[in-house]
Amino acid sequence: SANAVNPGVVQSELARYITPDAGEFGRQLRSLLRPLLDLVAQSPEEGARTSAMLATSSQGKLSGRYWQSEQPASSLDGLLPGPVQALIPDFIRGKMTSTSYNPATWAALWRVSEQMVGLQPGEAAALAEK
């Protein structure tokens, strides 16, 4: 199976690599943002929880899904943190489109992928039957 997982904002040392050449400005920016990140970021264990659940449970056999917080989610759900999403009125959320669930987008991506790897249209399906 193949799934996409959004671990959310996770406390890590990754931030130190974002602005390594920014000198004093980078250090000050990181020290300013660190308290904010500490409020919203999960521990590495919490961030890994969904991946671990998919790897060790029967739910991981549900292929082709986008997962967040140990459950399938719309890929739009991952755009904004939950508290911010709650502020978006329903009539606006209803107008937001989810291209990751659009069959026409899937087909277009498949065609481009075939071209990029040098397959002729339909050749991948013939290979899968073997």
pLDDT at 51: 94
Half-sphere exposure for 7 (CA within 13 Å, toward CB): 16
Q: What is the DSSP letter of 58?
A: G
Strand partners, 42: 10
* Lowest-confidence segment of 12-16, 57-61, 113-117 by average pLDDT: 12-16
Q: Using CA atoms, how far apart are residues 127 and 129, in angstroms rounded to an integer?
A: 5
Q: pTM for the complete prediction?
A: 0.56
Q: Using CA atoms, how far apart are residues 116 and 55, in angstroms rounded to an integer?
A: 30
* Cα first-last separation, the chain: 19
pLDDT at 48: 94
Q: What is the mean pLDDT of the chain?
A: 78
What are the tens digits of pLDDT across the range 45-73?
999 999 999 999 998 887 778 888 898 88
More confident residue, 17 or 110: 110
What dihedral angle (degrees, nearest 10) is formed by the CA atoms of 71, 72, 75, 76? -60
